[in-house]
Structure 1
Amino acid sequence: MAVSHDMLSLLSDPLLVIIISLLPFNEAVRTSVFSKSWCNNKLFKLTTNIEFNELFFVKSSNPSIKDLQRKAFLDFITFWIDNNKETIIEKFSLKLSMPKNVSELTEKCIAFATHRGGVKQLELDFSDPNWVEYNNVAPYHKFDEPMFELPEHVYEVRGIQTLKLYSCRFVEKDLLKFHALKEVSFGWIEVSIFLINTLLSNCKLLESLSLKRCWNFSEFYVRDKNQKLKKLVVDKCSFQYELFRVVAPNLKFLKYSGMMNYFDIQMCPQVVEADLDFSTEFGFGGNGYRLYNLMEDLYSLKVLTVCSYFLQVIPTGGELLRMERNFNVRHLTIKTEMNKNEYKGIVFMLRSCPMLERLTIELGCARIWPNHVQPFAFSPKNFWTENVRIYECLKSSLEVVEVKGFKGFDKNEIRMLAYFIHCGKVLKKMTINIEKNITLVCNKNSDLNPHRFAEFLLRVPRASSDLEITIC
């Protein structure tokens, strides 16, 4: 007769603790059902990775239920701290809105994370998910002051390598004590560009810098003298002047989301991936040349994500049809609604990326910006079918096309995908992901069936005999 073994129970406790600590905190707690030893010995409580996240508990929009869920969350924190005072913590995250209402517990929680001085990754997020953003760019910073202040004892924990502070005020000069920092993220707070450059200068190991909805930048000018910065994220921050300048010789990843600026990306030959989102921009006029010049600076890219605004504006820059110098992009992601104002930008990118191997199309909401003017006239209805041109990437390199959020309601989606099937000579795989929230709409209107529209694509003549189309 076969004997059932609990293989996990055969592992030593130190090894189990290492395994548990590699798991997300909520998953580590759930592991108590996996093994008798884990449950009986409470090994999951020895995890060195602690994450107290209010959103794990508070899920209801009903105010009374929401209050009860928040109380349960606070009770859970209290119980955990009181029963695990000897825990050695390496990674700690606290996500809590309205911390001033429970300031004593918040202080106690942070002290719990730092009391042994071994924490290497510290994240304190006091932002409110319900906060309203001003023009989708920056918070109402005149009214939304940081919700909490970093306790003084935290500055003495010199071994912190990852520091993430959201709506958490800090003393700039004391922050410079963290010489071991490798990753820094600030959000929903006032930050000076002087601090950013001083951190880059003093923290000689700093590789990643992220700024989310921060303000009080006169202009954005980052200079990495230590040449260690590899990742830079600037997400909907507020600048007084329209200048975005970066000098970072070893930068590899750049994400920018916000208004158009005068971009000056100097000495960044190593950048291989960029995510550019200008969806918060107010108008169209005059930005084509700025955007074109930015893309000339980012000639080394291999992975690129662009928004609808980018597609509408890029053909109005230095060249109408393509970049003067070819991109090195291998994977291109376009966020589009497939409206007529985006067509020329899509073709512009196909022409400019002759070595493109993978194209991801994220279908979603877009809009037409004021004063938008097409670079030249064309017929939107026949754009993908008349005078068909096969661009270099479709002849020699484009092997994968992935579509996310397919609804099938817009014939423009069908026409464009049919174009890739009909012209992609080396295309091997096309994956069409149906929009998950579309089922209810389809049930009310039987004519709206994305599966039926997607299956039409299966009958389109294929340029590649190796092409496999998957609908899911």
Structure 2
Amino acid sequence: MSSISENVNDRLSMLPEDIHSRILSLMPTKFAVRTSVLSKRWRYTWTSVTNLDFDYTRYVRSNEKIIKKFVDGNEEKFKTFVDRVLKFCKTSHVKLFRLHISSYGVRRSSISNWIDKAVRLNVRELDICVIQHEVPLSVFTCKTLTNLRLELSACDFGGWEFPSTIYLPCLKTLDIVGCNNPLAIHGCPVLESLSLEVSCNAEEDFVLNIPTLKRLKVLCRSDSINDNSKVVLRVPKLEYLFLDGVLSSLFEMEDMSCLVGASIAFWHSRFDFLWTDLLNQLRGVQNLSIENFPFTSPLPIFPNMKQLELNSTWQSRQITQFLESCPELKTFCVDFVDWRDFKPEEPKLIPACMLTNLTNIKFSKCDGDASDIEFLEYMLGNAHVLKTVTVFAHENLLIEEDPWFCTQVLKFPRASPHCEIHFRTRKLPPPQELEYDDSDETEAFY
């Protein structure tokens, strides 16, 4: 019996070394190192990992968002740990090097040395989030790098600068935060995905000319974008566009024929005409998500629109305006609705998509008030080819504690005889806190 038990318990150790390396590479480095205490055979197994993940941060979940907090106290111990890991690591090709530090106590010189070491290990993916105003120049000439994320936050420096010389021949994904001069992006001949912050001034437009780009996310900063500047996008292969921040500048888009989806989440706009101009340039999009829509000006027709998502709270006239502008719409998703001012029109004025194409409706944040009931009654009574309506309510609200709402909705007349109504609860994750664990077990291999 004991021999059978020993064989079962030893099956993991009997796996090939490359399998051990893959398993340990899937976990944070501090946990991979702890396996050195299992047995003599496992003492140096972790040194062959292809992913190096160092995290000295604390995260707190609050209101469905993750907030990063500063931590202090064990910086020297963390530094010693990272130094020794890089010293004993025997791999010559690192797939991922992740370094997240939210403490001022870790020396900038140490951070630069660690990143430079990763470059010399032929790293493919770099994910750097540190309190630093610069990184080694070797990062910007790394021939093996395919993915790069840089978030350099330093309150005493304000922002950081791209070097004048960049050559990243294999880079496909670039995510930069806090950079003062994103115009310096160049030397990336195969770049496909880009995320960056944009700020312009009256003297110079922001021009992005990347013919290989397929995915673009732009955060427009409010501190320096102004009425006289433009954001010029020359990205003929772009498929997905994400815009966030403050809309204070005109957008000029050249050849957006490949664009499939766009997401717009501007929390402020100085002038309605900026929205009008932007939406006119997105007329050919198939999927559109919009948040914080501020005006009621006439909308362009979106002839190819198949899916529309309206986040935040929307008034009845805004919803019907969008439905009228999307004759081919099949899927409609909406968060909160304000249907109090809705005035029923003649049946002939029902949006065309509701008569011929609209098959799916998703109501994400239903509270069950009179406005919600009137909205659902209108959609069910006028969407002639509707197949599915899914209503998401707050946890235990309406569905379990107040079934009257569900009963009322199920009684509404349906223009489509094939329509099904589904009720779901929208559960929020419990608050939790994650932080760096500096257990002494990480020193077992020394």
TM-score by length of 2: 0.74
Q: 2:128 aligns with which of 124, 130, 134?
A: 124
Does residue 343 of structure 1 match 2:302? no
Q: Distance in 2 between matches of 1:308 and 1:470?
A: 26
Instruction: Give the superposition deviation at 1:383.
Output: 1.0
Equivalent in the alignment of 1:383: 342
Q: Distance in 2 between matches of 1:121 and 1:103?
A: 21
Does residue 327 of structure 1 match 2:315? no
Higher RCO, Cα 8 Å, sep 6+: 2
Residue correspondences, number: 396
Q: 2:260 aligns with which of 272, 286, 299?
A: 272
Aligned-partner residue type, residue 266 of structure 1:
E
Q: Distance in 1 between matches of 2:200 and 2:104?
A: 22
Q: Secondary structure at the match of 2:98?
A: strand
Q: Secondary structure at the match of 1:294?
A: helix
User: Relative to 1, partners in 2 of residues 1:466 and 1:59: Cα closer, same or farther, differing over 3 Å?
Assistant: closer
Does residue 457 of structure 1 match 2:441? no
- Runs of 4 or more above 6 Å deviation: 1-10, 30-33, 448-451
Equivalent in the alignment of 2:421: 468
Equivalent in the alignment of 1:185: 175
User: Relative to 1, partners in 2 of residues 1:334 and 1:96: Cα closer, same or farther, differing over 3 Å?
Assistant: same
Equivalent in the alignment of 1:373: none
Instruction: Give the superposition deviation at 1:274.
Output: 0.7
Q: Secondary structure at the match of 1:336?
A: strand
Q: Distance in 2 between matches of 1:32 and 1:431?
A: 47
Equivalent in the alignment of 2:327: 354
Q: Secondary structure at the match of 2:107?
A: helix
User: Relative to 1, partners in 2 of residues 1:124 and 1:398: Cα closer, same or farther, differing over 3 Å?
Assistant: same
Q: 1:407 aligns with which of 342, 360, 367?
A: 367
Does residue 256 of structure 1 match 2:235? no
Does residue 13 of structure 1 match 2:17? yes
**CA RMSD of superposed structures (Å):** 3.9
Deviation digits for residues 451-471 of structure 1, max 9, x if unmatched?
654554233233333413122
Instruction: Give the superposition deviation at 1:358.
Output: 1.6
Aligned-partner residue type, residue 457 of structure 1:
V
Q: 1:394 aligns with which of 349, 354, 357?
A: 354
Equivalent in the alignment of 2:287: 303
Q: Distance in 2 between matches of 1:415 and 1:14?
A: 61
Q: Is the 8 A contact 2:182 2:196 kept in 1?
A: no
Instruction: Give the superposition deviation at 1:87.
Output: 4.9
Q: Is the 8 A contact 2:225 2:248 kept in 1?
A: no
Equivalent in the alignment of 1:136: none
User: Relative to 1, partners in 2 of residues 1:384 and 1:423: Cα closer, same or farther, differing over 3 Å?
Assistant: farther
Q: Secondary structure at the match of 2:164?
A: helix
Equivalent in the alignment of 1:422: 381
User: Relative to 1, partners in 2 of residues 1:337 and 1:74: Cα closer, same or farther, differing over 3 Å?
Assistant: farther
Q: 1:211 aligns with which of 196, 207, 211?
A: 196
Larger helix proportion of the pair: 1
Instruction: Give the superposition deviation at 1:302.
Output: 1.1
Equivalent in the alignment of 1:163: 148
Q: 2:207 aligns with which of 201, 221, 244?
A: 221
User: Relative to 1, partners in 2 of residues 1:17 and 1:172: Cα closer, same or farther, differing over 3 Å?
Assistant: same
Deviation digits for residues 363-400 of structure 1, max 9, x if unmatched?
49x9xxxxxxxxxxxxx635165646532222232222
Instruction: Give the superposition deviation at 1:100.
Output: 6.4
Q: Distance in 2 between matches of 1:58 and 1:151?
A: 27
Q: Is the 8 A contact 2:312 2:336 kept in 1?
A: yes
Instruction: Give the superposition deviation at 1:350.
Output: 0.7
* Deviates most, 459-468 or 41-50: 41-50
